[in-house]
Structure 1
Amino acid sequence: MDVIFDPARQGATAGGAAAGTIKDGDQKTFMQDVVEASREVPVLVDFWATWCGPCKTLTPALEKVVTAAGGRVRLVKIDIDKNRQLVAQLTQMGLPLQSVPTVVAFWQGQILDLFQGALPESEVKRFIEGLLKAAGGQMPTADLMAEAEAAVAQGDHHAALELFGALSQQEPENAKALAGVARTLLALGEEEQAKAVLDNAPDKIKEAAEITAARSAIEVEIEGRRAKAMLAEFQNRIAADPDDHAARIDLAVALSASDDRDGAVDALIEAIRRDRAWNEEAARKQLLKFFEAWGFDDPASKAGRRKLSSVLFR
């Protein structure tokens, strides 16, 4: 029987890496398409079968993520039923190919990592990102940003922190990435670390809108924590004196900290309506601070801007 996977033959096809990012492989081309190609870029091998239901879900996800990586990683798909000799030899080497799908990552002619089962696309991205880090490569910045923002939307702040951090390392002057690091640290309760990240921002981006907004988010979080415990007191003060503008602004801060952003907006709009100029327009300034901290695309920010304009331009 021919030796299909023999490290002694690795030098025989040097420079013969596959030209395509994604291709079908077999036992005849395994050395060239996988082992030798992995000396240039990491190579994923998708072991699949026509009868495998989960394979039909995983393979398209793999193809999508590998394509998005822009040539930094390659994918070779191998049908186990058509390549039994290869599968048998790899199984003897310890690869768990008795079940599919199994995805094996090769780097520098060696097995670097693997996973089994049909992972969701987000987990496939994370696996490939880890592979690229281990290999010293990088995912495209747009891809990292999109994945980080998706992680935030899903409430996975640990994943978002890792992705924003990777992007910040690639692009130290990317204000959006650095602000993302600070905001995810804040979401994880690491307030001091979040402040330190912003304090140590490169001079070129210290005053960038994203950095300023992240600072506002930290300030709103700190102020809100204090005000939240006194929410009832502020409500009682306003009930006793509807023109207690200080209490109304404090109430807005407490409502924001209680995740009632619409209520916070309404409290400040009412304060502006009653006395816009009070304390150098403190209510309007607090509302703008909220918009900055929440993000200008936040639904409460959008609604709040409409309400503010109706008061200011009536």
Structure 2
Amino acid sequence: AAQLRIQSIPTVHAFFKGQPVDGFQGNVAPSELKRFVDHMAGLGPEPDNGLADAIEAAETMLADGEFNDAIETFTAILEEEPENAAAYAGLIRAHLGLGNLDMAETLITTAPGALAKAKEVEATRAMLELARQAASAGPEADLRAAHEKDPKNPQILFDLATALHANGKIEEAVTTLLDLFKLDREWNNGAARTQLFTIFDALKPQDPIVLAGRRRLSSMIFA
């Protein structure tokens, strides 16, 4: 950090052939973000035209909750490469992060050409569904209390899992849905299993939560 003179957050540095070649600190204007992306795209002759660093920078913004900056950066990337699935999905996720669910849905339903079938964009469909559920999730504390009083009530278990996921407790939400599946796998047309697959689809395939959850679910199905 000292060597690169990092003094504020967010700080983005791009490297080419092991050397820092561009970057910015703090919030910058859209024109500056576009200049950054254009610069990286022009470095070549890398197969991705240098856009990988720009995408990585935008993903960092997403992780840090800088959703507006991420939107501007992903948009600039898409101007350079309109069918970049990672950037398009990142743009959708940034809108989800801001709570712009209708805009996210519009981007998903109007995704052009091959983007509509890209795995990155497909994952955002599950994210949108979970985000809409989160908007109507009940209070976690109340649902925990209700579950303690009636631990075998499938609706309470399902609602608790929804509230847990809405509060970012994804692993606990998966565990709760697995408990529901074990209790009554056929309840509400197999709602527990369907919801588990929705959560898995919203995560990366190799996410430890996905791997562990799929193993437990399979062991129950084939027990």
Per the shorter chain, which TM-score range? 0.7 to 0.9
Q: Which residue of 1 aligns with 2:195?
A: 286
1:278 Cα deviation from its structure 2 partner: 2.8
Structure 2 counterpart SS, 1:65: strand
Q: Structure 2: how far apart are the matches of 1:207 and 1:66?
A: 31
Which residue in 2 is equivalent to 1:310? 219
- Of 132-141 and 155-164, the range deviating more from structure 2: 132-141
Q: 1:130 aligned to 2:40?
A: no
Distance 1:227 1:208, change over 3 A: same
* CA distance, structure 2, for counterparts of residue 278 and residue 213 of structure 1: 26
The 5-angstrom pairing of residues 26-175 of structure 1 reads 57-58=4-5, 65=14, 67=16, 123=25, 130=32, 133=35, 139=41, 140-175=50-85
2:14 alignment partner, SS class:
helix
- The answer (yes or no) to whether the contact 1:223–1:253 under 8 Å persists in 2 is yes
- CA apart distance, 1:233: 4.5
Percent identity of equivalent pairs: 30
**Equivalent residue pairs, number:** 206
What secondary structure sits across from 1:206 in the alignment?
helix
- Output the CA distance in 2 between the equivalents of 1:228 and 1:69: 50
Per-residue deviation at 1:253? 0.8
Deviation at 1:280, TM superposition (A): 3.0
Contact 2:65 2:97 in 1 (8 A): no
Q: Following the alignment from structure 1 to structure 2, what is the Cα–Cα distance between the partners of residues 232 and 135?
A: 47
> What CA RMSD, in Å, does the superposition of the two structures yield over aligned residues?
3.5
Q: What residue in structure 2 maps to residue 276 of structure 1? A: 185
Tell me by how many angstroms 1:274 deviates: 1.8
Would you say 1:208 and 2:118 are equivalent positions? yes
1:199 matched to 2:101: no
**Structure 1 stretches of 4+ moved >6 Å:** none
Find the aligned partners of 2:86 and 2:33 in 1 and give their Cα distance.
25
Structure 1 residue ranges without an equivalent (≥5): 1-53, 59-63, 76-120
Unaligned stretches of 5+ in structure 2? 6-12, 42-49
Give distance in 1, aligned partners of 2:198 and 2:37.
Answer: 43
**CA positional deviation for 1:159:** 2.5
Q: Provide the rounded CA distance (Å) in 2 between the counterparts of 1:133 and 1:69.
A: 21
Q: Which has the larger radius of gyration?
A: 1
Matched to 1:311, the amino acid is M
SS in 1 for 2:117: coil
